[in-house]
Amino acid sequence: MVALRQISEQRDFVVSSASLKDVRSFSREVFEKVNIDQDLKDELVLAIAEAAQNIVKHAYQGEDTDDKMEIKISLNNGELEIGFFDKGRPVDEKNVRHRKIDDVKPGGLGTFFIQQIMDAVVFKEGEKPWINHLILTKKINY
């Protein structure tokens, strides 16, 4: 298999916790095409799954829906960009923060993991039909 240096792949998923395994499968499939070490691939899959989980938990507050979210993974000249698009409640960036890491209690770790793994996390208003557009970026050395 030839490792790719440029990638742009996207897929839709029903907004549901049951979709998270499919989100991971998609992410793993994409990163299999890139020559980066397995530890980094695992971290990126975790960051993507945590962001998708946040859409299910927060943008949709765990409600059942037929809505889909879209995830787009792009790699260009060592710049990895992962876009998340959803039609849930608008995300107020001020409310997106992880709990203090030494305040040990269940919950609030997903955002911390994303910030640990990625270089930048940017929230944007989605262009129609989307409401939210989250962008995670990371410089990849390969």
Instruction: Please name which of 112, 109, 117, 111 lies closest in space to residue 43, comparing C-alpha atoms.
Output: 117
User: Interface with another protein includes 57 (CB under 8 A)?
Assistant: yes
* Contact mark string toward another protein, 90..119, x via CB under 8 A: -----------xx-xxxx-xx-xx--x---
CB of 21 or CB of 89, closer to another protein: 21
> Which residue pairs from 111-119 have beta carbons closer than 8 angstroms and sit at least 24 positions apart in sequence?
111/50, 111/54, 113/46, 113/47, 113/50, 114/47, 114/50, 114/51, 117/43, 117/44, 117/46, 117/47, 118/47
Q: Tell me the C-alpha distance between 87 and 35, whole Å.
A: 33
Identified binder of another protein from the candidate list 11, 36, 53, 140, rule CB under 8 A: 53
Identified binder of another protein from the candidate list 7, 20, 121, 135, rule CB under 8 A: 20
User: Interface with another protein includes 56 (CB under 8 A)?
Assistant: yes
Q: State the CB neighbour count (10 A cutoff) for residue 59.
A: 22
Identified binder of another protein from the candidate list 31, 44, 50, 126, rule CB under 8 A: 50
Residues that bind another protein (CB under 8 A): 17-18, 20-21, 24, 39, 42, 45-46, 49-50, 53, 56-57, 101-102, 104-107, 109-110, 112-113, 116
